[in-house]
Chain A
Amino acid sequence: MKKPLRATLKRGSMAGVATLGAAALLLTSCGQAPDAGSGAATKSDFLGCIVSDSGGFDDQSFNQSSFEGLKKAETDLGIQVRSAESKANSDFETNLNGMVSAGCNLTVTVGFLLGDATKAAAEKNTDKHFAIIDFAYDAPIANVKPVVYDTAQAAYLAGYAAAATTKTGKVGTFGGIKIPTVTIFMDGFYDGVQAYNKAKNKSVQVVGWDKNTQDGSFTGDFEKQDTGKQVTINLLDQGADIVMPVAGPVGKGAGAALKEAKAAGKDVKLIWVDSDGYLTAPEYKDLMLTSVVKQMGEAVETVVKDDKDGKFSNTAYVGTLENDGVAIAPFHDLDSAVSAETKSELDALKADIISGKLVVESKASPKK
């Protein structure tokens, strides 16, 4: 029994592999060899590094945007780049130590989970610079720049736009995990809807989140799109016709549910988060009302550029509507769904928030 199998395996598969390999080589290997002397373009010896949390650089959320920002700095500024993905929380410290021994001038860490590890590494290596995304310390550290976002400001506008656009009088939202960087979206969204109700004497309801009790719908992780789909179907069943998933890639589950609902004849819309979903999740672009955008890549690139130019500071970068660190994306295809009146009201609200006349508050807002 075993012998013939092994023989077949040996002869058959090896011959197959060899043929395949030869074919692949023949097909791909006819290119021209480059000149031996061509040296690389002159590069800066500034070393910018990044350590992800366990989401990895393909999380379609803050790890990815931050990584892309650093990559952009690599091409734009000619710096060198090192990256380390953490697979578990116990990797943070080792990854950071690895970056320090690799000689990184600036190390970007992503997420509150890395807060302690970044602090420890920064205190041990006072000659190195660090930046941490989406986290700020109570007491600033001399060589750590926190990069945080007052996302509630942009989410407020999205909430207002949603309330003005809903046909059912109900809008929905859900999160991935109940952490401040997620709930800040939901708080802002909730307040935006309440602002609309107050201004227009309407009673649009938010399902999936209650700012007062700080309780709502969560899928439990940032991975399972299927759960996102189920939660969205639930929200639709409760009467919502616009849904804002704050769950990274799980948002695609919401997109799938809404797409099915639309195919069944319902008039439903989607609000994306983090990036402009019209561009980053184009398969749902016909559903995309707007997006609550956090410009993380730009912030990282700026921090790198400043440090390279010798202008590093440990003052927190707070992304706001004012400095375009947060924003709402254009309405794109659904432009006609939003009335001109609403648009001008949104502009006025934005101006009020920037001027400080209107303060959007959330328990999760960056500490001042």
Chain B
Amino acid sequence: MTNNGQSSKDQTPDVPSAEVRAADVALDTAGGAMGPSIVPVSSQSGDPGHQEGNVLRRIVMGNGFVSVLAVIVALFLGGLLIASTDSQVAKTAGYFLARPGDFLQALWAAMTESYVALFQGAVFNAREGFKPLLETMTVATPLICAGLGVALAFRAGLFNIGAQGQIIISATLAAYVGFAWHLPFGLHLLVVIIMGVLGGAAWGAIVGILKARTGAHEVIVTIMLNYVALFLLDFLLNTAAFRRPGDNSPISPRLDETATYPVLIPGSRLHLGFLVAVALTFGVWWMLNRSTIGFEFRAVGANPVAARTAGVKVSRATILVMAFAGALAAFGGVAQVAGTEKVLTGGVAAQIGFDSITVALLGRSTPWGTFFAGLLFGAFRAGAVQMQIQTGTPIDIVLVVQSLIVLFIAAPPLIRSIFRLEPKKKNKTPKAAPKAALANASGGAK
């Protein structure tokens, strides 16, 4: 332990860092009622499956402060980008030396106007009050649902890239029931939801079954199933059953009024689906932290080999968690067709399935984290409209800013080094290591 570099170098290859170990311990006991750890997480440090779990957890664990800083840095860089595309800034830069004040003013105006417009479109403006906030919540609804699905699978150690396909399948089924069947009010919506969710759950379960029975990697399976779902939808939209009578365009009839989520606040688009998303967030939190099955999921995610040794049926948990993940994403698909769009088109899932992966990561794979990350993304989406219309900022720049935020959050060391937060942590590492080891030895019996 003569120098820090040396010791950390020695540790990295097979022994997880103190931070991660501590996280493991916390995970083991988070179940509270579950009693002392049945999963000796850190004892199999050489196991490849365990290493994979560590990488995942290293990405998703971090402190909220870093996230806030990441957003600030991204907003600043985004502001510079916005300014660089602004014609006034370019014009005044041309005579910067003659009158620098103009340039700085234009720069400031470009940066602030865009973000003011973003805020006005996403949260509050003088003309409409808090109506934009309702829009943010509307846009966030499918992102939250699908994000929960991705987060849940992450917690069980599975990279669920398949939210897109799960959304498409559920939206297809839900929409079909919505426009082809004519049922009374209440029952119709219920049937729409059930069909959609069953479809998504089945689509997710296929992945779980293939993973559990044949060992096929869930990433490739989910990506391929996304394609299957997408082109299946394209095909269906070209069949008479899914098209409007007398119309050749690939767009379905509108869903019956009885099949759609009721609007919560008149004058806005906010629908019942948002409350469903809140309930789902709570449900997933409860499942992960209070239920046996949730504990099993986390145990499998932490260390499948140890979980098996401890009596958890790993294959059953894999299939179940993917079915649950699919069902959660399916609520996103239902929110699309029964909440906002009310028709089925080839673009019904937009990029929600892929955005939900970032939402889940941004929320550090916790249910409430995902919920608020979804709201943040929803705010960006809703605000982007005003940003475009009011200031003429290209929507692509808005998406660049969003991507920057995720990039900074996925790389906490970068933020830490920009703000010089690293040294504190570095001094801690060697001291903390023995403590963590101790905690492990005692089996987390606190």
Contact = CB atoms under 8 A, between A and B. Distances in A.
Interface of A: 1-3, 6, 9, 25, 28-34, 49, 54, 82-85, 87-91, 93-95, 98-99, 101-102, 112-113, 115-116, 138, 177-180, 183, 220, 363-364
Contact of B248 (A34, A49, A180): A180
A202 B392 CA distance: 55
A88 B102 contact: no
A113 B341 CA distance: 11
Contacts of B95: 29-34
Contact of A87 (B96, B336, B351, B386): B351
B324 to A, nearest CB: 25
A93 B93 contact: no
Contacts of A112: 249, 251
A47 B439 CA distance: 68
A178 B239 CA distance: 11
Interface string B393-437: 011000100000000000001000100001000000000000000
Given A34-B95, A93-B269, 14 more contacts: A6-B417, A25-B97, A28-B94, A83-B392, A85-B388, A87-B351, A91-B381, A95-B389, A98-B121, A99-B389, A101-B128, A112-B249, A363-B248, A364-B248
B135 A116 contact: no
20 contacts: A2-B417, A25-B97, A28-B94, A29-B97, A29-B98, A31-B95, A31-B98, A33-B99, A34-B95, A82-B392, A84-B389, A85-B394, A87-B351, A90-B340, A112-B249, A113-B345, A115-B251, A116-B254, A178-B238, A178-B250
Given A54-B347, A87-B350, A89-B341, A30 B249 contact: no
A363 B382 CA distance: 38
B238 A91 contact: no
B116 interface: no
B133 to A, nearest CB: 14
Given A33-B99, A87-B399, A177 B250 contact: yes
Given A29-B96, A30-B97, A102 B389 contact: yes
B5 interface: yes
A184 to B, nearest CB: 9
A91 B121 CA distance: 13
B422 A2 contact: yes
Nearest to B142: A90
B139 A29 contact: no
Nearest to B125: A101
Nearest to A25: B96
Given A90-B341, A178-B238, A84 B248 contact: no
A101 B221 CA distance: 45
Contacts of A82: 389, 392
A29 B94 contact: yes
Q: Which 3 A-B pairs have the closest CB atoms?
A: A88-B350, A29-B96, A33-B98
Contacts of B342: 116
Contact of B93 (A28, A99, A180): A28
B127 interface: yes
Nearest to A102: B389
Interface residues of B, number: 50
Interface of B: 5, 9, 93-99, 102, 121, 127-128, 135, 139, 231, 234, 238, 246, 248-251, 254, 269, 336, 340-343, 345-348, 350-351, 381-382, 385-386, 388-390, 392, 394-395, 399, 413, 417, 422
A32 B413 CA distance: 45
A89 B98 contact: no
Contacts of B94: 28-29, 31
Contacts of A113: 251, 345, 347
Contacts of B348: 89
A178 B422 CA distance: 56
A84 B386 CA distance: 9
A191 B393 CA distance: 45
A363 to B, nearest CB: 6
Contacts of B388: 83-85, 95, 98
A157 B123 CA distance: 54
A1 B5 contact: yes
A2 B99 CA distance: 42
Contacts of A2: 413, 417, 422
A49 B246 CA distance: 31
A40 B350 CA distance: 41
A122 to B, nearest CB: 16
B401 to A, nearest CB: 14
A87 B395 contact: yes
Contacts of A183: 248
B333 to A, nearest CB: 12
Q: Which one of B102, B385, B395 has the greatest number of beta carbons of chain A within 10 Å?
A: B385
A49 B392 CA distance: 12
A179 B237 CA distance: 10
B96 A101 contact: no
A101 B395 CA distance: 18
B248 A116 contact: no
Given A29-B93, A83-B388, A112-B249, A94 B351 contact: no
Contacts of B99: 33
Q: Which one of B342, B345, B389 has the greatest number of beta carbons of chain A within 10 Å?
A: B389
Nearest to A367: B246
Contacts of A83: 388-389, 392
Contacts of B351: 87-88
Contacts of A101: 127-128
A183 B382 CA distance: 35
A101 B340 CA distance: 19
B217 to A, nearest CB: 26
Contact of B102 (A32, A33, A91, A93): A33
